[in-house]
Chain A
Amino acid sequence: MNSSATFRIWRGDAQAGEFRDYQAEISEGMVVLDAVHQIQARQANDLAVRWNCKAGKCGSCSAEINGYPRLMCMTRLNDLPLDRPVMIQPLHTFAVLKDLVTDVSWNFRVKKTVKRFAPRPADAPDGTWRMAQADVERIQEFRKCIECFLCQDVCHVLRNHQLMDQFAGPRNYVYAASLEMHPLDTQNRLADLKDRHGIGYCNITKCCTKVCPEEIHITDNAIIPLKERVVDEHYDPLAMLLGRLFSGSRNKANTRA
Chain B
Amino acid sequence: MRQAAAVAKEVRFGETARRDAWWASPLAVFLGLCAFVVYTTWAALQGDHYRFGPYVSPFYSPELWGSSGAWFGPGRPAWYPRWLFFSPALLVLWVPAGFRLTCYYLRGAYYKAFWADPPACAVGEPRKHYWGENFLPLLIQNIHRYFMYLAVVLVLILAKDVWDGLWFTSPSGAVRFGVGVGTLMLATDVSLLVGYTFGCHSLRHLCGGRVDRISECPLRGGLYRCSSALNGRHNAWFWASLTWVGFTDLYIRLCAMGVISDWRILF
Contact = CB atoms under 8 A, between A and B. Distances in A.
Nearest to A90: B7
B73 interface: no
B133 A202 contact: yes
A107 B5 CA distance: 21
B17 A159 contact: no
A67 B214 contact: no
B6 A18 contact: yes
A11 B2 CA distance: 17
A207 B122 contact: yes
B149 to A, nearest CB: 10
Interface in A206-257: 206-207, 210-211, 219-220, 224-225, 227-229, 231-232, 235-236, 249-253
A14 B118 CA distance: 26
A203 B108 CA distance: 6
Interface stretch (B39-47, B202-210, B240-248, B253-261): B202-210
Given A66-B17, A66-B19, A89 B122 contact: no
Contacts of A14: 2-4
Contacts of B202: 228
Contacts of A12: 4, 6-7
Interface in A147-200: 154, 156-157, 159-164, 181-183, 185, 198, 200
Given A205-B111, A206-B108, A92 B212 contact: no
A87 B210 CA distance: 44
B213 A132 contact: yes
Interface residues of A, number: 69
B122 A106 contact: no
Nearest to A180: B212
B104 interface: yes
Nearest to A253: B212
B262 interface: no
Interface string B136-156: 001100100100000000000
Contacts of A207: 118, 121-122
21 contacts: A12-B4, A14-B4, A16-B4, A64-B17, A89-B7, A156-B117, A156-B121, A159-B122, A161-B130, A200-B133, A200-B134, A203-B108, A203-B132, A207-B121, A220-B201, A220-B232, A227-B142, A228-B145, A228-B210, A235-B142, A251-B216
